[in-house]
Amino acid sequence: MLTAALGMTLVGCGSWSWGRRSAGPSGLGDGHRQDPALSGNGRVLASIVERGGRATVILQEQPSGRLLPLGPLQRQQPHRSPSLSWNGRYLAVLVQQGGRRLAVIEDRATGRLQRLPLPADLEPQRLSLAPDGRRLAIEVVRSGRSVVQMFDLGSLLEADLPGGLPATGGGWSGAGSTRDDEAASPAPR
Amino acid sequence: MRQKQRHPGRGAQQRRFALVGCLSLIGLSLGGCLGEMPTPMGGLDRQLEQAGSSQAPALAGRWLALIGGRGGRDQVLLVDVERALPVPLPGLNRPDAQPLSVAVSRDGNRLAVVRQLDGRTELVLYRRELMGLETIAMQPAGVPRRVSLRADGHELAVEVSRGGHWQIDLIDIP
């Protein structure tokens, strides 16, 4: 009770003093930046910009803002709803292929693109990748109704855990070398 | 001739290996084109289905935050994925607010929410342990839309419209 009361008091103090910064210009397209997604460790920011009239995901190292390279995904626009794993190794995003929208995951460590086909009657709208890369939530429209569906990716992806090496994009020699000692610590409950 | 069929020569064996190799290559190529099917989490999906419509999912740790609703009234939901159970969020949802985007920290304690309330759009931070809600002002002024939270819940990225221009702000949270 005391904790709750203290919390409410602190909450009333306002947020004016919190550190703020703009993600800054990407140097691409018309300057609009949308759909932000931070990696679990906060060192990579994904966002959507217009490039050549097509929605394109970009990755920026934080806090430097340096653009990071993309692999096969850079040819799969338009992009929508990016989501990153803990170290930014996996980038999940919706792409348009022909008349269909498709969820894909790029492994920035190996350059491999993993397509995740859904039944034809499900139209994906948004997605979220768990920071460890083990689960994926996809908002789909079925019969005109939005529903979130959960998928276990344990058999498809190696986990990306705290303490793993950052993926630099376009293949990475340290692929899969996450540190199991840190990985073994469970999330707070 | 009969003996040759029972004990195929080296050439026949090579042809067999070549055939197996070709079939494997075709299989791998098709696999790459079609992709492997992710495994649906059926029990949780059924629960979400029963809860009505659901959208804007955000995963972190064992937690799934989303916007769900029935009868046109949406609210922020937090689900423990491992137990397939929703957890209460006292003081967060209110009948006159429309949530638009939600993000959750890895420990499930912090939720960042963009919502419409009293004709304006605001970004709020909810701390579950404290049952406390705090408005995060946009500086300079702007209209927030989508939000993402770092896994430890101490930084967020929010999409903000300023004068018709979409930008992304990064905000440190103590």
Average confidence (pLDDT) over B94-98: 95
Residue B35 has pLDDT above 80, yes or no: no
- Mean pLDDT: which of B14-18, B48-52, B137-141 is highest? B137-141
Determine, for residues A35 and B146 on separate chains, whether the beta-carbon distance falls below 8 Å. yes
User: Which tens digits make up the pLDDT trace of A120-147?
Assistant: 888 999 999 999 999 999 999 988 899 9
Q: Which two tokens stand for residue A186?
A: 């469970």
B144, closest residue in chain A (CA to CA): A34
Residue B18 has pLDDT above 70, yes or no: no
Determine, for residues A137 and B57 on separate chains, whether the beta-carbon distance falls below 8 Å. yes
For the question of an ipTM over 0.95, the answer is no
d(CA A107, CA A71): 9
What sign results for the dihedral spanned by CA atoms A30, B137, A93, A105?
positive
Determine, for residues A115 and B35 on separate chains, whether the beta-carbon distance falls below 8 Å. yes
Return the pLDDT at B12: 56
Minimum-distance CB partner of B54 among A86, A104, A147: A147
Enumerate residues 6+ apart whose C-beta is below 8 A from B36.
Answer: A114, A116, A155, A156
Enumerate residues 6+ apart whose C-beta is below 8 A from B174.
Answer: A18, B154
d(CA B106, CA B73): 27
Residue A71 has pLDDT above 80, yes or no: yes
User: pTM to 2 decimals?
Assistant: 0.81
Residue A168 has pLDDT above 80, yes or no: no
Q: Which amino acid is at B4?
A: K
Give the three-state DSSP class for B43. helix
* Residues of A with Cβ-Cβ distance to B135 under 8 angstroms: 15
Give the three-state DSSP class for A46. strand
